[in-house]
Each structure stands twice: as structure tokens, then as C-alpha cells.
Amino acid sequence: MSDPRDHLDALLPPDPGAGRTDPLPAIPAGAVPAELPKHLRDRLQEAPGPDRSAQTAGLVAAAVEWGLDNGQVAALALAHRPTREKYGSRVEREAARLLAKFRPDHQHVGRPCDRAGCPNTPRWMAEPPAEPVPVRPVESGESQVDAPVELLAGLRDGAWLDAQHFPPLTYVVPGLIRRDRCCWLDRRRLGSPGWC
């Protein structure tokens, strides 16, 4: 037994747009800028990871935030190994898709977000860099100028956390309200307390 909808489809004229997808406009690839900042050079030289589409999106977003024009961003995508491996001949199309996503928030071609006064400046551009922790203790009397920097020196791990001893929680209402909690009561809204 056939579906009655099949007969209806046979009566309709063929859809001229069926199976056709309009390609995004091609962006002519420019040249990769000779002077790239370190964060873009690092992204450009990264090895393919498990999520190559995220690597591509990160590269395009960083390039747009830095103020590169669309042709330069397309050239970076073409030179980016994870992008080439993921998208093959569709690299320019994917770059155009990502540019359509990121460019409206970063209209400042030629200047990085922080210099252009962009309201969408990434936090790492707006804040001063964190002071690195020197490996040598200050008391040692050795020169700190040439000391290697250990960026994760203050990081704690699970073993450190397991070794810590915390006082037991105290409750005002046993098992329900901890001592550090309070309740606000308002005359207008009696019966609807706010917890802090």
C-alpha cells in the first residue's frame, strides 16, 4: 500500500531550488601578515587537536579581534593546518561563515580591540598581564632577573586539598540552615523570605 502523499508530490511541479545550497561569497585570500603577534603565531603553528573546528573558530576570532582584514583572516585559515585537515577545499567557505559570525562585533579593521576602544575587547587584552612568580626565593640572594619563571607555582592540586582540615559545619536549624546563612523578612512580603 502506498502513501497518499506520494501521489500529491507527483502532481506538483519540481522544486527548482531543491538540493541547491547558495554558497557564501568567496573572500579573496590576502597574504598572511609578516608581523603577527605571538598569540596568533602560536595558533597558526598549533597541531591538530580533537576539536579542529574549535581551533579554526579560535584562530578566526583571535585574528578578527586583532583587527586583521577578511582577506588576511582567510589567508591565516588557509595556512592553519588543523583547518586545512578539517575542511579541505572548503576552508574559504568556513572562514567566510566564521567571519560573518565574528565581524559584526569587531568592525575595527587595522587596529586591535584594545586600541580601537571596542566594547567587545577580550579580557586578556584589557587587563595587565599577571606578574610571573620567580622560581628562586627572594631570600636566596640570587639575581631574579635571569631566574626562570614558573607560571603555575601557586597552583594547588587535589592532594593538597585532601590534606586540608576544615571545621565542621554548624547549623542553626539542624541539617537545614547553616550558621553563615541569614533570612530577610520584609513587612510587605511576609512569608516570602530571602536567603543570603
Rounded Cα distance, 177 and 129, in Å: 41
Summarize pLDDT for 43-56 with one digit per residue, the tens.
889 999 999 999 99
pLDDT at 98 (0 to 100):
92
pTM score, whole prediction = 0.54
* Cα 3 to Cα 6, 8, 14, 91, distances in angstroms: 6, 10, 19, 42
- Higher-confidence residue: 130 or 161? 161
pLDDT at 32 (0 to 100):
80
pLDDT at 15 (0 to 100):
59
Secondary structure (3-state) at 39: helix
* Cα 107 to Cα 33, 47, 82, 101, 120, distances in angstroms: 19, 30, 26, 12, 10
Q: Highest-confidence range of 38-47, 122-131, 144-153, by mean pLDDT?
A: 38-47
The dihedrals phi and psi of 193, each to the nearest 5 degrees, come to: -75, 155
